[in-house]
Amino acid sequence: MRSLRTGFRGTGLSLAAVVTGAALLLTAPVAHAADTPLRDLAAAKGKVIGTAVTGSKLTGSYGDIAGAQFNSLTPGNAMKWGSVEPTQGSFNWTEADQIVAFAQAHNQQVRGHTLAWHSQNPSWLTNGTWTSAQLSTLLQNHINTEVGRYKGKIAAWDVVNEPFNEDGTYRSTLWYNGLGANYIANALTWARAADPAAKLYINDYNVEGVNAKSTALYNLVKSLKAAGVPIDGVGLQAHLILGQVPATLQQNIQRFADLGVDVAITELDVRMALPADSTKLAQQAADYKAVLAACVAVTRCVNVTVWGFTDSDSWVPSTFPGYGAATPYDENYAPKPAYYAIAEALGGGTTTPPTGACTATYAVGSQWNTGFTGQVTIACSGASLSSWHANWTFGAGQQVTQAWNAICTQSGTAVSCANASYNGSVPDGGSVSFGFNGSWSGSNPVPTVTLG
């Protein structure tokens, strides 16, 4: 973290600067959560709203938001086999226990994730040479141990994760190759025995719309039901791309519901090419709203879970370089348009961000081959501030090197600027500005500034 002190610009840089950029303006309303938390809105609709979480982060703003806004938590990684049994016979339940305890303290459900998967398994398991009988015993013992440990504390388990290929054939995995497709029925049966109260799910991605993969899942669920295998629900992960909510989402949810199982949207996120801008964020809001609306429209769609609620805790940027901003809160925990869209789809009344309040305007002034000056103006109309933080995320590796009339810190791409001692007050109808020198290369896109 770099700390950049307030001060007057002492260099002659701007004199030598070549003005290449016209002032670019973007405004953003003051960060302001919905008046009614998402979990209360969801409950009023008979739904559950969840988020994936990282146990070690459940303090401070992250913990506050996770506890206040959501009534279901899914451990993002903590309950995976590789996490809980890194060495055969030696268990580590620390993070999983922590998340369950947090959920209980906040009156939240827990979705257990996940028991039979091809990924994030311990190396002793994947590197071992096992007979079918041994493999079957390993899986049964794993399910007994983990489901048994949390018996009565888990609302739903993703028992089987990602069993299908895109064309609807079974994925070639440790389990399928060693045990055949029957591993699915067995895993469900063992899970039921270990915790009869938990709802048992099969979970997969790219099964949100009607397609070959979701039809294979549909046919599997139908045959499991016919055979009396315990299956209570399907999880549609919903790792979506901006503007690409499948048109058949609601129809697909409905056809599973009609089979007599529940449906959950288990890992919702909507990724976009970075940097985010107001147009993309508006599209993302529409996408989130469409997903929530499809779930709200089908009685048996019981839960929508986002795969991380803040952009600072999302798997997307590391897996899809150049993509991100996929969750409803930005990296500084300011709610994004997607947040308000979720609230609206859940029937929230006064959930749109306030207009006629205080806005932040970011402008690129001078720009030369390696540097630029930026100016942020905070203006209030119909509202006032006694202190402020202006936050943004640089989209192309820019760095703030010196700021004046604000105290700016930059951590990675995230910049946060607090008022100086003398300019925290912004009266109704008034404005304050601060400036900074920055470095850039390649491109210098304008970020969206939020006020906190």
Which residue in the set 267, 287, 311, 331 belongs to the binding site for ligand 9MR (CB under 6 A)?
267
Catalytic positions are: 267
In the complex with ligand 9MR, which residue's Cβ is closer, 205 or 434?
205
CA distance 397 to 440: 7
- Nearest residue to 32 via CA among 352, 338, 280, 419: 352
Least distance to ligand 9MR from the beta carbon of 315, Å? 4
The Cα 61–Cα 391 span in angstroms is 15
Cβ closer to ligand 9MR: 269 or 344? 269
132/180 Cα distance (integer angstroms): 9
Site for ligand 9MR in 302-331 (CB under 6 A): 315
User: 303, 49 in Cβ contact below 8 A?
Assistant: yes
With respect to ligand 9MR, which residue has the nearer C-beta, 331 or 344? 331
Alpha carbons 407 and 3: distance in angstroms, whole number: 8
CB closer to ligand 9MR out of 316 and 432: 316
> Rounded to the nearest 5°, which phi and psi values hold at 203?
-125, 135
Exactly one of 76, 163, 233, 328 binds ligand 9MR (CB under 6 A); that residue is 76
Shortest distance (Å) from residue 267 CB to ligand 9MR: 5
Q: In this structure, are residues 394 and 415 in contact, taking their beta carbons and an 8 Å threshold?
A: yes
Helix (H, G, I), strand (E, B) or coil at 27: strand
**Is the CA virtual torsion 414, 419, 424, 429 positive or negative?**
negative
Q: What is d(CA 323, CA 271) in angstroms, rounded to the nearest whole number?
A: 6
Task: Select 9 or 118, whichever has its Cβ closest to ligand 9MR.
Answer: 118
Under the binding rule (CB under 6 A), the answer on residue 119 touching ligand 9MR is yes
Task: Examine residue 123 and tell whether it contacts ligand 9MR (CB under 6 A).
Answer: no
Query: Can you tell me the distance from the alpha carbon of 332 to that of 410, in angstroms, rounded to the nearest whole number?
Result: 12
The two three-digit tokens of residue 226, written as one number: 């016919």
Q: Which is nearer to ligand 9MR, 76 or 435 (CB)?
A: 76
Radius of gyration of the chain (CA): 24
- Please give the residue whose beta carbon sits closest to ligand 9MR in the complex: 315
Nearest to 452 by CA among 336, 311, 280: 336
Q: Is 74 in the site for ligand 9MR (CB under 6 A)?
A: no
CB of 414 to ligand 9MR, least distance (A): 19
Decide whether 81 or 205 has the Cβ nearer to ligand 9MR: 205
Query: Any contact of residue 56 with ligand 9MR (CB under 6 A)?
Result: no
- Smallest distance, ligand 9MR to C-beta of residue 353, A: 28
- Phi/psi at 102 (5° precision): -60, -45
Which helix (H) or strand (E) segment is 185 a member of?
helix 182-194
- Nearest distance from C-beta of residue 326 to ligand 9MR, angstroms: 11
Out of 36, 77, 145, 211, which residue is the one contacting ligand 9MR (CB under 6 A)? 77
Instruction: Compute the least distance from the CB of residue 66 to ligand 9MR, in Å.
Output: 15
Q: Which of 416, 396, 394 is nearest to 406 (CA)?
A: 416
What is residue 354's three-state secondary structure?
Answer: coil
Asked if residues 133 and 178 have their Cβ atoms less than 8 Å apart, the reply is: no
Asked if 30 and 357 count as a contact pair (C-beta separation under 8 A), the reply is: yes
Our finding on whether 384 is near ligand 9MR (CB under 6 A) is no
Residue 237 interacts with ligand 9MR (CB under 6 A)? yes
Q: What is the closest distance, in whole angstroms, from the C-beta atom of residue 316 to ligand 9MR in the complex?
A: 8
Interaction pattern, residues 144-163, with ligand 9MR; x per rule: CB under 6 A: -----------------x--
Q: Which is nearer to ligand 9MR, 123 or 441 (CB)?
A: 123
Q: Shortest distance, CB of residue 37 to ligand 9MR, whole angstroms?
A: 24
Q: Is 120 near ligand 9MR (CB under 6 A)?
A: yes
For the segment 161-200, give every residue that binds ligand 9MR (CB under 6 A). Answer: 161
> Cα separation of 216 and 166, whole Å?
10
Q: What does DSSP assign to residue 164?
A: B
Q: Which amino acid is at 112?
A: G
Pairing of strands 27-29, 358-367: antiparallel
Q: What residues make contact with ligand 9MR under the rule CB under 6 A?
A: 76-77, 119-120, 161, 205, 237, 267, 315
